[in-house]
């Protein structure tokens, strides 16, 4: 299955508690159709003091977001994605600007 976003894409969250936040995709979970966006959907985990974390405390880690709730950003604006063939390879194309995306 092909998705409209991939790792290291700049995206904006279009639904949920973090709606409007922008970030970079850290990881794509193809099996569950979810992505992890840097700085969005943060979960707090309370940790006990240990050798690794002598003081303990609260650690914030990004949680996953369903892939349908993020939209790719091209030229600073959200855009939809199309696909076309160039030189025998299928490439992603921005619907708004027509530019080829990497």
Q: What is the pLDDT of residue 50?
A: 92
Question: Residue 55 contacts by C-beta under 8 Å, 6 or more apart in sequence?
Answer: 49
Structural domains in the chain, CATH included, are 10-76 (2.30.30.30)
Mean pLDDT per segment of 10 residues, for the chain of length 102 residues?
91 96 96 96 94 91 96 93 92 92 82
Q: What is the pLDDT of residue 8?
A: 95
Residue 81 C-beta-side C-alpha neighbours within 13 Å: 20
Q: What is the pLDDT of residue 2?
A: 85
pTM as predicted: 0.83
Question: Residue 17 contacts by C-beta under 8 Å, 6 or more apart in sequence?
Answer: 41
């Amino acid at each position: 299955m092909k998705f409209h976003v991939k790792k290291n894409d700049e995206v904006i969250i279009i639904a949920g508690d973090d709606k409007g936040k922008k970030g970079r995709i850290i990881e794509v979970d193809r099996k569950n159709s979810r992505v992890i966006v840097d700085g969005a959907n943060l979960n707090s985990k309370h940790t006990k003091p240990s050798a690794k974390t002598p003081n303990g405390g609260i650690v914030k880690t990004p949680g996953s977001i369903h892939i349908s709730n993020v939209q790719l950003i091209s030229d600073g604006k959200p855009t939809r994605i199309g696909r076309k063939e160039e030189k025998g390879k299928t490439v992603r194309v921005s619907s708004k600007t027509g530019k080829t995306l990497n």
